[in-house]
Structure 1
Amino acid sequence: MRDDNCIFCKLANGDIPTTTLYEDEKYRVIFDASPASKGHVLIIPKEHYEDLTELPDEIAAGVMPLARKIGTAMKQAIGAKGFNVVQNNGEAAGQTVHHFHTHIIPRYGNDEMILWKPGTTDAEELKKTCESLKQAL
């Protein structure tokens, strides 16, 4: 299923021209228009799914192997010393386009990009959180 009003559906299916790194029948990998670093790409399914909660297992199962393949290429071909695999769900988590996509961001070891600031917790808080989540599973 595609959403005719979704820009990522249009990008993933070639309706809007973009620089494509990889493409198969299920995904298109394109370069991010506002890259966090040189070589930053997006893995975009060709079908429309708003976020991870809507993603079928079959499509989800293909994302990590593709991310591994791209990250390995980044280390070999463009000098990345590492890479982040980032996937946001919902506006509160930073999702700005409501079509599931995964960022592969090469890291070169000379930037100050921080994905989160480590916090603190205690055993009681962890226990309560774990119990709540187990009930929802």
Structure 2
Amino acid sequence: MYEKECPYCNLLADPEQQIIFENATCAYIQKPSEQTVLVGSGLIVPKRHAVDVFSLTAQEWIDTQELLMKAKAYLEERYGHDGYSVGWNTGKTGGQSISHAHLHVIPRFADEPYAGKGIRHWIKQEANHRRV
């Protein structure tokens, strides 16, 4: 399935976006570092229009893992990072802003402003704020 208006159904439509790796069902993409929150950030997206992670086929899961391991090696060659944030946002309430499954692969650095503040940090902040 292909959605004409979906930015991840037509990966070549955005000239700033680069396909770093791809396999039969998925692609690992990046934009220039100045357009990302953290240097080296990228996405793994299925080539087929899958609305969210729960729509992936068994083969897309296998191919996603293959690209995740390739992305890890690729990032480790280029950056002196100290960790990763890897994850899916699913549904509007879950933070998904584009209705096409995409796995965030974000290298994390000890000296960056968000160091040590993974997804659980923000959830805890929200929970503490609601308790007040």
Query: TM-score over 0.5 for the alignment?
Result: yes
SS at match of 1:61: helix
Distance 1:71 1:110 in 2: 20
Please report the RMSD computed on the Cα atoms of aligned residues, expressed in angstroms.
1.9
SS at match of 1:7: coil
Max radius of gyration: which structure? 1
Task: Report the residue type matching 1:110 in the other structure.
Answer: D
TM-score after normalising by structure 2: 0.77
* Preserved CA contact (<8 Å) 2:27 2:67: no
Structure 1 outlier segments of 4+, above 3 Å: none
Task: Report the residue type matching 2:27 in the other structure.
Answer: R
Aligned twin of 2:129: none
Show structure 1 runs of 5+ residues with no match.
Answer: 120-137
How many residue pairs match? The answer is 117
* Preserved CA contact (<8 Å) 2:21 2:67: no
Task: Report the residue type matching 2:62 in the other structure.
Answer: A
Are positions 1:116 and 2:120 aligned together? yes
Q: What are the superposed Cα offsets for residues 51-92 of structure 1, whole Å, 9 maximum, x if unpaired? A: 012111210122123212212321232212221211111111
Measure how far apart 1:6 and its partner are. Answer: 1.1
Aligned twin of 2:29: 30
Measure how far apart 1:98 and its partner are. Answer: 0.4
* Preserved CA contact (<8 Å) 1:71 1:83: no
Task: Report the residue type matching 2:101 in the other structure.
Answer: F
Distance 1:108 1:96 in 2: 25
Percent of aligned pairs with the same residue?
26
Measure how far apart 1:99 and its partner are. Answer: 0.2
